[in-house]
Amino acid sequence: MKSLSSEDRRHALKQPGVGHAAFLIRDAVLGYQDAPHEGFYDPYSIVNTEDSKINFRNSISFVCGRLCAYNWVQRLLLAANWIVFLLSFVEPPQWCRDSDLTIVGNNPNGSLSKYGDCEIILSARGTTADGDENQAYYPNFNLMLLSIEQSKCIELVCVFIIFLFLVLKMGDDGFVFKFFFYPGNKRYMHSFRLITLACLLAGNLSGYTVLSPFFRMLILASHLRRFLREFCTLWKLVRRVSCGKIMYYAYQQRYKFGLESFVTDSHCASHCCKPICFFLHRYQPWEGF
């Protein structure tokens, strides 16, 4: 297929709807079935303008959008997420890095190890309470492959890669915050990722890494599209089932305390239960019993 020249491309993009069609084709090829139809920056909406800022913003959006669409960029992003998640399995455990156990006190130089106190604790052996000799006090799989400093360095690199991808996504939106934080799932997801990355970075720099495995799991889950779709489906199902149980509970309470006190309770504060509470207030079905 013959590729278009830059002049032919600019001429084609002058026609109304061509840029939007190009976005739809791109999303279809990449498999983005849930791609947004609004709330994103369109670099093809304004072309051949004399405003240098708009031209520069369009160029940045075009370049960042192309980079985000490359397969190797997506694979690098997923690799960084999986690596930072798997660090929890090959680094010294959080609970034994600085321990006050007796077996550590007998080795005053243990805290100077690059593995912290974990090297001493996980290799300690002795007689168990039932009399078995030469048994490990803390059985493990000997998967402590990285030192504390190595783990921190790898985590910083992975966090930087994930943050750089968010910067590219922001550039794809023309560095316009109202598009990057567009109301809805887009705002929630971008805010969630930025907060999680900030927590990981703060824990890495401060040395307080007790919650790091939890944040690593969250940042990985936020980049797994199939997992997110299944989770959203499950969440909607749970909300509906919960509302059904609350309504059943409401009918049961009329025998004990009277339903009027229940429907004014804090149970009706949730969004999913408002239609039920409105129905109970409006029609008062218990009156027929």
Query: pLDDT by residue (tens digit) across 174-230?
Result: 888 888 888 878 888 999 999 999 999 999 999 888 899 999 999 999 999 888 888
Amino acid at 231: F
How confident is the model at residue 81, as a pLDDT? 95
Return the sign of the alpha-carbon dihedral for residues 84, 199, 208, 201. Answer: positive
* CA-closest candidate to residue 43, choices 25, 72, 66, 71: 66
Residues 93, 6: Cα–Cα separation, whole Å: 55
Instruction: Reduce the secondary structure of 84-101 to three states and give it as a string.
Output: HHHHHHHCCCHHHCCCCC
Residue pair 212/91 in contact by the 8 Å Cβ criterion = no
Angle at 23 between CA 17 and CA 26, to 5 degrees: 140
CA 29, 197, 203: angle at the middle one, nearest 5?
155
pLDDT at position 167 is 94
What is the reported pLDDT for 39?
64
Q: How far apart are CA 7 and CA 82, in angstroms?
A: 42
The overall longest dimension of the chain from CA atoms, in Å, is 86
Q: How far apart are CA 26 and CA 66, in angstroms?
A: 10
Place of tokens 């090297």: 119
Q: What is the dihedral of CA 144, 150, 153, 155, to 10 degrees?
A: -10
pLDDT < 50 stretches in the chain: 1, 33-35, 110, 257, 259-272, 283, 285-289
N residues, the chain:
289
- Judge whether 143 and 133 are in contact, CB under 8 Å: no
DSSP letters for 204-217? HHHS--TTHHHHHH
User: Could you give the 3-state DSSP secondary structure of residue 202?
Assistant: helix
pLDDT at residue 288, rounded to an integer: 43
Cβ–Cβ contacts within 10 Å for residue 84, how many? 27
User: Among 183, 206, 143, which Cα is nearest to 40's?
Assistant: 183
Whether the Cβ atoms of residue 221 and residue 228 lie closer than 8 Å to each other: yes
Q: E strands along the chain, which residues? A: 125-126, 135-136
**pLDDT score recorded for residue 173:** 86
| Rg of the chain on CA atoms, in Å | 28
At residue 19, the pLDDT reads 67
- Of 240, 247, 253, which is closest to residue 277 (Cα–Cα)? 247
Token pair for residue 106? 């007998």
